[in-house]
Amino acid sequence: MDSAPPDTANDAASAGAPAASDAAPGTVAAATLPSAGNPEKRAYPAPAAAPTQHGPRGIRFDFNEGARVTLPEGAAPWKVRLRDLDTGNILFDTTLKSGFVNSSKRFFVRFRIEVWQNEETVLRHDYDAAGRRVLVFMPVGTLGDTLGWFPYAAKFAAQHKCRLTCGMAEKLIPLFRDAYPEIEFLAHEAVQPEEYYATYYVGLFFGDEGNVWQPCDFRLVGLHRTAGYILGVDPTETPPLLGVPDEGRPIAEPYVAIATQSTTQCKYWNNPQGWRDVVRALKAAGYRVVCIDQKPVHGHGLVWNHIPHGAEDETGDRPLAERVRWLRHAEFFVGLSSGLSWLAWAAGIPVVMIAGFTHPTNEFATPYRVMNYHACNGCWNDMRLRFDHKDFLWCPRHAGTPRQFECTRLITAEHVIATIRRVPAMAGRLARMPAVAQAADSQA
């Protein structure tokens, strides 16, 4: 016998107008879940106003922003039931004369929609995306997030054999388009929502205590793996394929690519001597050191971060294909928990990641992560804390104290250099590194 789960109240659908908790989603790069007082503020385009699939007797249904059913007024009341086919739970069961039913869960669920009238089964539809058009939205304004999330959309397409469209930032589309010819890539504004059987939204959903948009909080499972949970596919991390032609080495000499800038100060390596000493050590080992950040200087208010002394300046607002070229031919990459580290991961080169405000599970696995566990760390993944996108100097535990940003300030150049020495490309160059580290230490 079918039975509803114990927390039926939390899993119930809404009949009629969406409730305040059903407001549009938000992401780390945009607005978070809006309040009931601002229901029109959305981080993604809205689904079609009416469900896109046509059933008997004027019934319409789809899976765009959850399971949706509209029921016209008829000669007798309708009985509607939503079921999770994988768990066997009845999620919603009601009788109504007419109206709109929308599941409270907007992440992937393999729904069954059942409708009766006068004890007669009028509609019984099991979710089946095979051959149908499905839309996965990813937010604009991010690089690393999309690089981490997109492979899960590709897994979804392969698993369900659907005709997948990915809505994402237009400037990122050239990275993927030629590597995934079976997937359609569109900028958000080019999407026609009336064409889709189902729509899913991938993002970082702050304030989603009811798990409406994500089955588990992204801070528990990792920034990229949250997409696997949202889309119901294997969350094992996989780097995306890059469809960027290889135009050859940008310079003949061996080089290391670095990126030192980010979007908020807690992501920076806040050791004042760190980058200078590491650049000196790499150059002494025979490498050219090339900075590929978008900006040579970035900051806010009185705090500004400059390209490291001694690094070659290849910064600028350049096509991402050019960044891929620099990364593919680098011996390795040294950077932060930021977008260019994710691009280096996708390009298939070793990544030395200097990070402190995130837990290691937040990013892709690298044997060359540099983190100091003697210092405060991991605030981003602390569910008791809420990241403030508007505060460039966000440091929730130690702001305004001598311990501010100690998570990376206490990562030493020696620690980073020792990690670099383990990168396979360093074989044959190790003899030059210790003296450099000692010299840097004596000048600190």
Alpha helices in 297-428 (DSSP H): 320-328, 339-347, 406-409, 413-420
Given the residues 145, 208, 277, 293, the one annotated as active site:
145
At which residue do the structure tokens 């945009």 appear?
30
- What is the crossing angle of helices 320-328 and 339-347, to 10°? 60
Q: Which residues pair with 289 in a beta bridge?
A: 256
| Amino acid code (one letter) for 34 | P
Helix (H, G, I), strand (E, B) or coil at 116: strand
CB atoms within 10 A of CB 431: 8
Q: Nearest-CA neighbor of 102 among 18, 41, 4, 171?
A: 18
At which residue do the structure tokens 């950040």 appear?
293
Q: Nearest-CA neighbor of 133 among 40, 72, 48?
A: 48
75 token code pair: 């000669």
Strands (E), 11-67: 14-15, 53-54, 60-64
Verify whether residue 145 is a known catalytic residue: yes
312 token code pair: 């070659």
| Amino acid code (one letter) for 283 | K
Which residue numbers are catalytic?
145
